[in-house]
Amino acid sequence: MSARKNLLTTLAAAGSLLAVSACAGSPQTVTNNDVTRAVDRAAGTDVSGAYPAQADGTPANPPGTEASRAYDRVAGTNTSGAYPRNNSHTRHHAHTTTRRNPPGTAATRAADRAAGTNVSGAYPAQSDGTPANPRGTAATRALDRAAGTNTSGAYPGQSDGTPGNPPGTAVGRAIDRATQ
C-alpha cells in the first residue's frame, strides 16, 4: 500500500509540475524541459521527446495500458492495439474471426469446451443435431430414455402415437390396464 501511495504521490506531483511548466515559456521549452523529462523518467513516457524508446508502441512500452492489454489477453480482443492478431477481419453477429483468433471470445470458447456447446461458433461439430451432439441436452435425452418420451427431439421413434410408443405414458397405460 505504501509503494502505491508513493507512486500516486509522485505522479500527482509530476502532473502538477507539468501543469506549472506548461504555463511558462515557448512551446519548445514546454514540451522538453526538466519537468517533462522527470515525468518521462518516473512514468516511463515520452512526453518530452527525450526518451523515444519509451514511446507507445516500442518494445519497452507496447500500445495501450497494462489494464487494456490484460483485458485483451483474457477476452481475445485488441482494445489496446497491442494484439493486432486479435483484430477482426470479418465482423458478423457477435463473432470475431481471424486465422489466429477463432470465433467468439476466450471465455465463450472455454464455456463451449466445458459444456460441449457451440455458443462461440468455434466448435460447429458440437452444434445441436450433429453426431457429436444430438438434439436436446444430455438431461432431456436422459429423461427421454428413462420415460420413453421425445422431449429432446433426439428420439422421434418414442413420440406419442408411433408404433413404438402408443398414446399416453407407460404409467398411464399400466393404470388403465389395472383398472379395466
Average pLDDT over residues 157-162: 78
Distance CA 30, CA 27 (A): 5
Determine the average pLDDT of the residues in 158-180: 79
Exposed e or buried b for every residue in 133-144, given b needs 16+ CB within 10 A?
bebbbeebbebb
Using an 8 Å Cβ cutoff, are 141 and 154 in contact? yes
pLDDT band per the 50, 70, 90 thresholds, residue 19:
low
pLDDT-based confidence at residue 159 (cuts at 50, 70, 90): confident
Residue 18: its pLDDT value, please?
58
For the chain, give me the number of helices (H) and strands (E)? 7, 2
Q: Determine what percent of the chain is predicted with pLDDT higher than 90.
A: 1
- Please identify which residue in the block is written with the cell numbers 436436446: 136
For residues 127-156, give the mean pLDDT: 81
- Grid cell, residue 146, equals 428413462
For residue 90, list its beta bridge partners. Answer: 97
**Structure confidence by residue, pLDDT tens digits, 45-93:** 777 788 887 776 676 677 777 777 888 888 777 777 777 777 654 344 4
Identify which of 51-65, 133-147, 155-169 has the greatest average pLDDT. 133-147
Range of weakest confidence among 27-36, 45-54, 105-114, 143-152: 27-36
Which amino acid type is present at position 69?
R
Higher-pLDDT residue of 86, 175: 175
Whether residue 95 is predicted with pLDDT greater than 50 in this model: the reply is no
Residue 76's alpha-carbon distances to 20, 121, 175, in angstroms, are 41, 14, 58
Question: Model-level pTM greater than 0.75?
Answer: no
Can you tell me the distance from the alpha carbon of 84 to that of 114, in angstroms, rounded to the nearest whole number? 28
